[in-house]
Amino acid sequence: MAATSGNILDTIGALYNSLTKTEKKIASTILSSPHLLSQCSLAEIAEQFDVGEATFIRFCRTLGFKGFTDFKLQLSIELATREKQPNSLLDSDITPTDDAQHIAEKLQNSINNVISETINLLDSSQLEESVAALRRANRIFLFGVGSSGVTAEDTKHKLMRIGLQVDATSNNHFMYMQAALMRDGDVVIGISHSGYSKETTQALSIARKNGATTIALTHNLRSPITQVADYVLINGHRQGQLQGDSIGTKIAQLFVLDLIYALLVQAEEDNAVEMKQKTVNVILEQRIK
């Protein structure tokens, strides 16, 4: 995925874990002081970052730019655009002096940020091809461990209600067994925010070897799970240090999966409405009268 004007800083964040030590130093400085680049030449930047000019140019090319000048121009456009946006709470970390209202506003800001970042990072072609694969699928599986497993179960519920043959698994042994029995026409979505979940990555690898189409939902570009995926969907990761993984990660994952759900419904609205009504009716029929 190449960065474009409007998502450079988000892309640097998504690439961070796969960068070299020197590249991480450059990335950290840019993320903390992005305006620094607009004020300096390549020679001055290289000196301030304590790296060679060639190293910095390679970093720019890693992001998909031709060189420093192209990168600097597009970053300037991105920063100018962000400055025109409405002011928001800059510090989203919760402090001991915050009251309930202030914390609520910070969490709201965090949610807004993570959704905006996710939209910036999503590759529309990868998303559309993923939805097309899901529409063709005979069976759909969702794999994830820990909190990602909870997300998988939530998505299973949504997709089942519109008539799709779907299952979700968070137990690694069950994932491996299901993956071993997959075949052409099956689609599996592996959810791992870090992209380094050994269990989910291994399950996707097994599924792919057996002919299934694999989709990875992760924050980290070039993480191990992306290497065993036919399609990669990148979610955002803006959150304060004291918030834990729940708010930013969960909202970002659910946003992408809800987007997939909406696109599936849009593509076959009549059938989706009919199936959803059937599932609603059968639940209502079981209520105690």
- The pLDDT assigned to 249 comes to 81
Sequence spans of domains, the chain: 8-84, 124-284
CB 235 within 8 A of CB 253: yes
Tokens at residue 226, please?
A: 């992306």
Topology adopted by domain 124-284: Rossmann fold (3.40.50)
| Among the listed residues 142, 137, 169, the one whose alpha carbon sits nearest the alpha carbon of residue 155 | 142
Q: Which of residues 88 and 167 earns the better pLDDT score? A: 167
The gap between the terminal CA atoms of the chain, to the nearest Å, is 55
The pLDDT tens digits for 64-103 are: 899 999 999 999 888 887 765 554 444 456 778 889 998 8
Q: Is 8-84 assigned to CATH 3.60.21.10?
A: no
pTM, full prediction: 0.83
DSSP states along 28-79: HHHHH-GGGGGGS-HHHHHHHHTS-HHHHHHHHHHTT-SSHHHHHHHHHHHH
Tokens at residue 21, please?
A: 């030590």
Q: Highest mean pLDDT range out of 86-90, 110-114, 135-139, 217-221?
A: 135-139
The pLDDT tens digits for 170-188 are: 999 999 999 999 999 999 9
Counting every residue written for the chain, the total comes to 289
CB 211 within 8 A of CB 183: yes
In this predicted structure, the answer to whether residue 122 has a pLDDT above a threshold of 90 is: yes
Strands (DSSP E) along 84-185, which ranges? 139-143, 166-169
| Helix, strand, coil share of the chain (percent; to 5) | 65, 10, 30
| Among the listed residues 193, 196, 200, the one whose alpha carbon sits nearest the alpha carbon of residue 218 | 193
The pLDDT tens digits for 257-270 are: 999 999 999 999 99
Collect all residues with Cβ–Cβ distance below 8 Å to 122 and sequence separation of at least 6.
Answer: 233, 234, 235, 256, 259
Helix (H, G, I), strand (E, B) or coil at 232: strand
The pLDDT tens digits for 146-164 are: 989 999 999 999 999 999 9
